[in-house]
Amino acid sequence: MGLVLTTHTNNNLYKGLHVEAQRLPPERHREIVPLRSLLDAGIKVSLGTDNVPISLFLPIWQTIARTSFQTGERVAPEEALTRAQALRCATANGAYLTFDEDKKGTLQPGRFADLAVLSADPLTVEEPKIAGIVSQMTMVGGKIVYETPNWSR
């Protein structure tokens, strides 16, 4: 069907996860934001946020950890995304959602030179620290548009 989905995970996979888990019996917890099932069904999933600070690393972490802010409980870990899947949802799948997959979302010749130097490697940093990753330098169109003082070049 060509379905594409974008999700706002901050409420349903973080702040309100414990409420959703209380409303459903444990055997139905996997129905709460079932991102892995959606990906497995061939649906392109994109991550988004309007949270403050605006950073996709909180939703990336939320889809990996599936941990309630209130209780610290992990809910339906079988629906968690891998780090690589979550990063793809935040980058390439986001570009696909906006019909920009030929221009951005991946680093390839001929595409926009938009990239960031991060404070940590999201593939290897301790899982709880993923949410706190920030950009130390950001390039848009091949030009530096943001940099923190003393970032390593």
Give average pLDDT by consecutive 10-residue segment, the chain, 153 residues.
Answer: 84 86 94 95 90 83 92 93 96 91 87 88 97 93 90 74
Give, in order, the Cα–Cα distances in Å from 79 to each of 39, 43, 105, 117, 143: 10, 14, 24, 29, 38
Task: Locate the domains of the chain by residue range.
Answer: 4-147
For residue 95, give the nearest of 43, 38, 33, 44 by alpha carbon: 44
pLDDT at residue 15, rounded to an integer: 85
pLDDT at residue 91, rounded to an integer: 92
pTM of the model: 0.89
Count Cβ atoms below 10 Å from residue 52 Cβ, excluding itself. 6
pLDDT at residue 144, rounded to an integer: 92
Distance, in Å, from the CA atom of 74 to the CA atom of 78, rounded to the nearest integer, reads 10
pLDDT at residue 142, rounded to an integer: 83
pLDDT at residue 117, rounded to an integer: 93
- Bridge partners of 143, per DSSP, are 140
Q: Which two tokens stand for residue 30?
A: 């996997």
pLDDT at residue 137, rounded to an integer: 95
